[in-house]
Amino acid sequence: MSGRREFLKGLAGGIVTGFPLVASSSALGRASNLAPCDKIDLILPPKPGAAMENIARVFARQVSQRCDAKMTSTGSAPQRVILAIEPSLGSEGFKIIDDSKDGVRIIGNDERGLLYGVGKFLHSSRYDQGGFTPGDWRGTSVPQGSFRAIYAATHFMNFYEAAPAQEVQSYVEDLGLWGANVVIVHFPTWNFEGFDDPAARRNLEQLHCILQAAKAIGLQVGLVQTPTAGFTTAPKEIRAIPVPDDLGRRGHFGVNCCPSNPAGHEYLLNLYTRLFDKFKDIGLDYLVFWPYDEGGCGCTNCWPWGARGYPKLSRDVVQAARARFPAIKSILSTWCYDTPPAGEWEGLAKFLETDKGWLDYIMADSHTDFPHYPLDQGVPGGLPLLNFPEISMWGRSPWGGYGANPLPTRFEGLWKQTQGKLAGGMPYSEGIYEDINEVICLQFYWQKSRAADDILKEYLAFEYSPEVVEQLSEAIGLLERTWIKRGPNSAEAFALLQEVDAKLTPQAKAAWRWRILYLRGLIDSELFRRNDKMEGPVLKGAFDELTRIYHAENAHSMPVQPPQLSSAER
Ligand SMILES: [Zn+2]
């Protein structure tokens, strides 16, 4: 509800949401006439808030990891960047203007708006001309989608669980620069005996670390939970009945509890109340409910789960959350609804006709095409609709095992299916290998009509160099075409990547975002050459490097590390 209000407010205020009011001077808003400088004065207002100070720190980190320019506050540097907050632009919007002949003023409507303005300025600047060349994008931009989340899954010792805190925190900041306004994490009860389980404590510490990084730069945070999932020690007598699962997609981890059983209901409410207490120090802004994956309950009182047991239980859990966090917003996911048809969508619509005060958004998506029901029949409860793009696991496993998986054409096609009807969404991230896909989704939420190709070009110029955008666009097109089946295009893509490799600055060349793209080309090309045989030192070296980049040395249970060569093949 609030998301829709924010969107309408933006339109009513006369701001063309998502579009610059002042056209930039080049297609990418990229500086072409400005000279590179070796020093930047970063000027904050007197008494900046903690978030602004952290955003300034992110600015400085980004510049220093990309070029040799130094940040100062002496007032004598050839380039001045002034940060300010002026609440008149529209929620989370920003404006970049010339301040004087050698200064740029980045103005946020609020703290998050300032972060996105800093992001736009950084993304349109360049770092490959022997210093920092300031971007010349000028104008005002306000996001169209109100919920632009990243779901950072922390399990199986993937990147988010295994990487050092600093690396994960930097990554959260980087996604913030591209427009993310919420970071969501999941506490996997089904992995633990209880809150005192040492593994549960470690997991909670990692979740805190991720959410603190988000809060530090002004982002909102939340949990996604399957409210029927208990701990592994949940009493047998309250366990749920497995749901029908003809397609094998709804999951059943064996620790679900039946909320229609009074003792089961009490157990679940107690568990989630205690979980919310673990986040009292941080404060939760969002609660996302998941119907399946870990399973629901198929008993006669709960089924159809998506229409009966699930919304009822979610409503009760929201109330427990609101007792602790009065402003928390709730999102009901409809993942795997009506697969096969069981009247779940219709039943949910009926449920929300009379009782929707507890809910703010509906989330929908599927393993393949976007579900038809909310597009054709309207969203249950008339609520704003969100998507859940599957950016991590589609097409190949192990996830991330072959390096970067950019799929701009795929995600643009799926985005277009939603007909501009979404208020944002929450890509499912298993690690850093889908970075390009995440950025594309976040920018669709920011400006619904933006083309994937345009987003990709901005990303390539920022991460690598404006000089290699055309070659890399072509290489990524070839890599996407050969994602399902490698072929001669795989070798062609790698040849382009090799050409680009020779042109990059030492910083860009050594950065993980280049290595995972380069290694993807190398691995695919090598596998094509070897008729898909997993053997040889080239592949071993590439897989070992990916493992180091992902911190996947101890990844387990599910495929989140590169494929293994058999000992005979090494
Ligand atoms: Zn039940």
pLDDT of residue 9: 29
CA of 523 to the centre of ligand 1 (A): 48
Per-residue burial over 380-406, b if 16 or more Cβ lie within 10 Å, else e, is: bbebbbbbbbbbbbbeeebbbbbbbbb
Give 366-418 as a DSSP string: -SSSPPSHHHHT--GGG--EEE----SSSS-SSTTTTS----HHHHHHHHHHT
Ligand 1 center–CA 344 separation, angstroms: 15
Location of structure tokens 């101890």: 554
- Which of the two residues, 20 and 531, has the higher pLDDT score? 531
User: Alpha-carbon distance 186 to 205, whole Å?
Assistant: 12
C-alpha 10/C-alpha 36 separation (Å) is 36
pLDDT confidence of residue 294: 85
Q: Give me the pLDDT at residue 567, please.
A: 53
Tokens 């103005």 belong to 107
Angle between helices 537-550 and 512-529 (to 10 degrees): 150
Query: Using CA atoms, how far apart are residues 444 and 450, in angstroms rounded to an integer?
Result: 6
Tell how far the Cα of 290 is from the centroid of ligand 1, in angstroms: 16
Which of the 8 DSSP states describes residue 557?
S
Instruction: Tell me the longest C-alpha to C-alpha distance in the chain.
Output: 74
Region 125-137: mean pLDDT is 95
Whole-number pLDDT of residue 405: 97
Distance 247 CA to ligand 1 centre (A): 21
The pLDDT, as a whole number, for residue 556 is: 76
- Note the pLDDT of residue 5: 29
Tell me how far apart the alpha carbons of residues 205 and 257 are, in angstroms, rounded to a whole number. 26
6 pLDDT higher than 80: no
Q: Is the predicted pLDDT of residue 102 greater than 80, yes or no? A: no
Give the range with max mean pLDDT: 57-61, 73-77, 97-101, 544-548. 57-61
Closest CA to 291 of 331, 324, 254, 238: 331
Distance 258 CA to ligand 1 centre (A): 4
Q: For position 367, what pLDDT does the model report?
A: 84
pLDDT over 90, % of the chain: 83
pLDDT digits (tens, 9 = 90+) for 388-411: 999 998 998 888 999 999 999 999
Instruction: Enumerate long-range contacts of 1-5, CB under 8 Å, 24 or more apart.
Output: 1/360, 1/383, 1/384, 2/146, 2/329, 2/360, 3/145, 3/146, 3/147, 3/360, 3/361, 3/384, 3/423, 3/424, 4/146, 4/384, 4/423
Percent of the chain residues topping a pLDDT of 70: 92
- Neighbouring CB atoms inside 10 A of 521's CB total 28
Q: Is the CA virtual torsion 420, 422, 423, 424 positive or negative?
A: negative
Pull the structure tokens for residue 430: 């298993």
Residue 468 pLDDT greater than 70, yes or no: yes
3-state SS, one letter per residue, for 433-485: CCHHHHHHHHHHHHCCCCCHHHHHHHHHHHHCCHHHHHHHHHHHHHHHHCCCC
Reported as a single tens digit per residue, the pLDDT across 502-522 is: 999 999 999 999 999 999 999
Sign of the dihedral through C-alpha 402, 403, 409, 411: positive
Distance separating alpha carbons of residues 178 and 175, to the nearest angstrom: 5
Interval between CA 259 and ligand 1 midpoint (Å) = 6
Which tokens in the block code for residue 323?
A: 């007792």
Give 152-207 pLDDT, tens digit per residue: 999 888 999 999 999 999 999 999 999 999 999 999 999 999 999 999 999 999 99
CB within 8 A of 46, min separation 6: which ones? none
What does DSSP say about strands 361-363 and 329-333: parallel, antiparallel, or unpaired? parallel
DSSP 1: -
Averaged confidence pLDDT in the chain = 91
Distance 566 CA to ligand 1 centre (A): 45
How far apart are the CA of 238 and the centre of ligand 1, in A? 9
If you measure from the C-alpha of residue 299 to the centroid of ligand 1, how many angstroms do you get, rounded to a whole number?
4
